Structure 1
């Protein structure tokens, strides 16, 4: 690598090039905020506010219960299954206060998936929202839990102070707990048990989030307080966030985007998180206006939803100073609309569960669109040949590999996965992201696709994200997903799955889209087939599930060929 990386020419002013990682724990920041700003709202949720002093008191009492009544010891793993709520935050920090490790669980997980998380992590205790109890198995066998603390979202709400009609699952009353293995969340806090003081270290394991992975069972990513804080400290300085920041916390907290940006970053800053139970664009517009939200991290799909909703036109969203996110490229047409109509730029970045979210970002004053940005403080990223691992020159497509203080320590009890994921270059350990990317002459990185997502049409390489970005410029298209489908003559063909804007449905046909695309891109790139859908399946963080769509269409094609 060059002695002076090219992106240093465009480095944001006031940001150090190296990162000084705090030698502290996440709990230190909660404690500091509670001392400095005891009455300040840490979380605003469904009409109710939880101050920093209240949050710390509840965290301590819950940690005491974990230790004294449920026998949780330092290093134990504890499952946490819940939609976004103050109870999620309280439980998360209580587990850390008890010296244990949080295993965040997607609330959409089925029983078999939860059993895998419990078995793989050896978790015996769980925090769970009452409606998710059926997904948990109790007993003495592998993947079975010994006890659970159960919460009801309604206990953290104040419907009389909320302008929004809250979902039924939020307002559902607290259900009775008939099983002795089930413990009431609020009853546990009410006992006021004091937690034992523990010698916690920044290098203690804090969170074990599971990645979906491309094959096999999900793998746990080992993150310490230090790796999480490296990401938070870097992000706060890069984005110029501070104690008066008001964030909109809507990305699911079980996922790194939500966990870090929606929960841990406000705690790190002593800021306020305006938390939504689940994505609702009309509610988001009202909350931004009412609470003067200044920063919002979200995937492009959510941003598109908000700014295309009629409620966004009626509300004053001028407090928003920062829109940031990643996971998918922001379409050029949408970015232009944000700039022209609202004076906002979408600060695109790049991160993974394995890197605690924040890794690459665009400089706020010199961003490039549909761009992963540049490596942030202390991060060393390179483009290498996926086979030889030789570093490639600017402009060439290869695998993005990276190293930095926010990188996980490895996969939980999975040395085989570690051997596949990590390589050594020049005596230093790099993580293989599995993403194909290129770097331009300015040192900015651009995603080309996942290592296996490329479409090979008659020998021509087609990058689906490039086609999707172009399609978003069509005035009738709301969302698009480009996939590879088998083609007896060409090997693979390009197919586009399209969601039209409501007013355009029935007016635009398949041939119209195909013709429009062929006028704007090489014929081998243009979709040969277009299928209209009512909606596209998305992950909990708003990413379009392209792999799921591609596999379903390939299976259907094979069934037609061999009935």
Structure 2
């Protein structure tokens, strides 16, 4: 184990962190006891105190158990934008001793069907504007009951902020035996039974995709989720209830879920929530509520700093600006520093590690750098072929051993076995990312061992998109590759062979794709070719197409 990074360790912090041996729900219960009248959530100027938040969590947990039939270890799908209801739902599912299955609100019906079938979720909590996509699936697989949330129910005060129409829309839910509106649930005020879940029980299952094309559920217990809830704010010195965090990263994604939502609830801080990115509203909220911490992806920061009104906003209370998902361009990081005095803290993590395994030390932050293995983490750079550790400075696969590493892929023992390897008597997770370690012990990303496109921090797995594209009646063959994009970093490109005699256009394919898959997966570019390059065994040589695309972008 390389310990060169210990020389740059945050002053006064231990190398190994002790975290609570409780369920994640207990973090909310304790904060509600400590700070009952403090603002837990601010949503377009409407305030929800910790006492109110906890009361709604108990009411929803009781309803899940007594009406939806949710029991210990059952999976509950959670499908909505950032909102008070997302936070309430997350903690209510845990309070009901069940497992949260968070999904991207961009997903369409065909995509949602896989999540329901694979997870075996017997209940779902969904936002009103997303309900039409889920409604046809009620009764399929194990799904028996759906609770529909309306964001407007938590708009309790007038505001001069710009509130999107989908947030303002009043409840239109029609209750029946299988569907319950949020107000119905709260008015029932059913109390949950004794809380039984402990550190080793199922807590959360974010999905990640891969080379097979089907998303895989990452099994996390309360213990693996808890570690980064405590570790992340401890590392940056944010464990004080005075902190106010602007929540713009989606809560369904592990970074927004852990480093923002769950970390603030643990600390007793305040979440200022935006359901959808809006640079003007973000600036107004930072100013109005003296935001102290802000986690976001580079594309958001690029947009924020390009706003001609940016000088109108008061960023003086910010003491931590952080993120990941993609490297922050040096010019943007410098502009942030000039404007706010803040150095952008970069980190590295995956769904399999429930957010960070590596972070930059606050007193020595390197740019375009993954950081160092933080509390309790042993990370190595290993030759992916020989499975032997490489020398410092050489490139290899990033391997991770730590308490936040997942327990395996749901219902997929083969992929689970392939994801782990032993080294020096320890089980390491093989990240599939390539990188190297510098003389200071800092990790840097160089390439991917697996096919993946990173579009504004969203992971797009080409095999998954290809499997959906083949449903188009005019497509004979298709290969998905990455194309450079000035704003998104990378974007999705489809290289398509049309069926003989078919003259379908690129625009027609793109419009069709928008109906079938989440917007971030949809190819922005379509190139038609006569044939795709293939190996002697008939496999499409995607890397040849990727290298050709890269060459056109640099020429």
Q: TM-score range by the shorter chain?
A: 0.7 to 0.9
| 1:24 partner SS | coil
Residue pair 2:80, 2:127 contacting (<8 A) in 1 also: yes
Cα distance in 1, alignment partners of residues 49 and 156 from structure 2: 15
TM-score where L is the length of structure 2 = 0.82
Deviation at 1:408, TM superposition (A): 0.8
Q: 1:70 to 1:426 in 2, by over 3 A?
A: same
Could you say which residue in structure 2 is the equivalent of 1:226?
Answer: 223
Q: 1 CA distance for matches of 2:184 and 2:482?
A: 57
User: Cα 1:257–1:140, aligned 2, differ >3 Å: closer, same or farther?
Assistant: closer
Contact 2:79–2:125 under 8 Å retained in 1: yes
Deviation of 1:21 after TM superposition, in Å, equals 2.4
State how far apart, in whole Å, the 2-side matches of 1:40 and 1:26 are. 20
2:191 is the alignment partner of 1:191: no
Alignment deviations for residues 434-486 of structure 1 (CA, whole Å, 9 cap, x no partner): 101011111000000211469xxxxxxxxx99xx9xxxxxxxxxxxxxx9xxx
CA distance in 2, matches of 1:407, 1:139: 32
User: What's the TM-score, normalizing by structure 1?
Assistant: 0.81
Q: Tell me how far 1:358 sits from its aligned partner.
A: 1.6
Kept in 1, the 8 Å contact 2:71–2:98? The answer is yes
> What is the CA–CA distance in structure 2 between the aligned matches of 1:558 and 1:385, rounded to whole Å?
37
Q: 1:548 to 1:379 in 2, by over 3 A?
A: farther
**SS in structure 2 of the partner of residue 324 of structure 1:** strand
Residue number in structure 2 paired with 1:410: 408
How far has the Cα of 1:50 moved from its partner?
0.6
> Would the aligned equivalents of 1:211 and 1:219 in 2 still touch at CA under 8 Å?
yes
- CA deviation vs aligned residue, 1:533-561 (integer Å, no higher than 9, x gap): xxxxxxxxxxx97x9769x56x5355699
- What's the offset of the Cα at 1:163? 2.3
Q: Say yes or no: does 1:353 pair with 2:351.
A: yes
Asked if 2 retains the 8 angstrom alpha-carbon contact of 1:354 and 1:407, the reply is yes
1:86-141 CA distances to partner (integer Å, 9 max, x unpaired)?
01111111111111111111111111111111110111211111111122155786
Match of 2:171 among 151, 155, 174: 174
Which residue of structure 2 lines up, in the alignment, with residue 429 of structure 1?
A: 427
Please name the residue that 1:71 is paired with.
69
The residue correspondences of 1:63-102 to structure 2 (distance < 5 A) are 63-102=61-100
Rounded Cα–Cα distance in structure 1 between residues aligned with 2:244 and 2:110: 38
Kept after mapping to 2: 8 A contact 1:331/1:370: yes
Q: Secondary structure at the match of 2:387?
A: coil
Moved more, 171-180 or 113-122: 171-180
Structure 1: distance between partners of 2:142 and 2:70: 16
- Show the counterpart of 2:233: 236
Distance 1:112 1:78 in 2: 18
Q: CA deviation at 1:142?
A: 4.5
Query: In 2 relative to 1, CA 57–141 (structure 1 residues): closer, same or farther, beyond 3 Å?
Result: closer
SS at match of 1:438: strand
Map 1:145-544 onto structure 2 (within 5 A): 145-158=143-156, 160=158, 162-177=159-174, 179-241=176-238, 242-452=240-450, 496-498=484-486
Check the 8 A contact 2:382/2:396 in 1, yes or no: yes
Name the CA distance, whole Å, in 2 between partners of 1:391 and 1:251: 35
User: What's the counterpart of residue 528 of structure 2?
Assistant: 556
- Which of these residues, 28, 31, 38, is aligned with residue 30 of structure 1? 28
The alpha-carbon distance between structure 1 residues 381 and 276, as it changes in their structure 2 partners (threshold 3 A), is: same
Work out whether residues 243 and 271 of structure 1, in 8 Å CA contact, stay in contact via their aligned partners in 2. yes
Distance 2:487 2:241 in 1: 40
Deviation at 1:189, TM superposition (A): 1.3
Query: What do residues 314-365 of structure 1 show as CA deviations (whole Å, max 9, x unaligned)?
Result: 1111111100111111111111222223211000010111111021011111
1:62 and 1:94 in contact (8 A); partners too: yes
Structure 2 match to 1:60: 58
Equivalent pair of 2:211/2:450 in contact (CA under 8 Å):
no
Distance 1:297 1:175 in 2: 34
Secondary structure, aligned partner of 2:258: helix
Shift of 1:179: 3.9
Task: Find the aligned partners of 1:331 and 1:394 in 2 and give their Cα distance.
Answer: 25
Checking the alignment, whether the CA contact within 8 Å between 1:81 and 1:107 is kept in structure 2 is: yes
Q: Name the SS for the 1:351 alignment partner.
A: strand
Once the two structures are TM-superposed, the CA of residue 215 in structure 1 deviates from its matched residue by 3.1
- Give 3-state SS (helix, strand or coil) of 2:15's partner: coil
For the 8 Å contact 1:17–1:376, the answer to whether it is kept is yes
CA deviation after TM superposition for structure 1 residue 29, in Å: 1.1
Cα distance in 2 for partners of 1:140, 1:267 equals 32
Aligned to 2:469: none
Deviations for 1:215-270, whole angstroms, at most 9, x for unmatched residues?
32100011111111111111111110021110011111111111112311111101
Q: Cα 1:110–1:144, aligned 2, differ >3 Å: closer, same or farther?
A: farther
Distance 1:58 1:200 in 2: 19
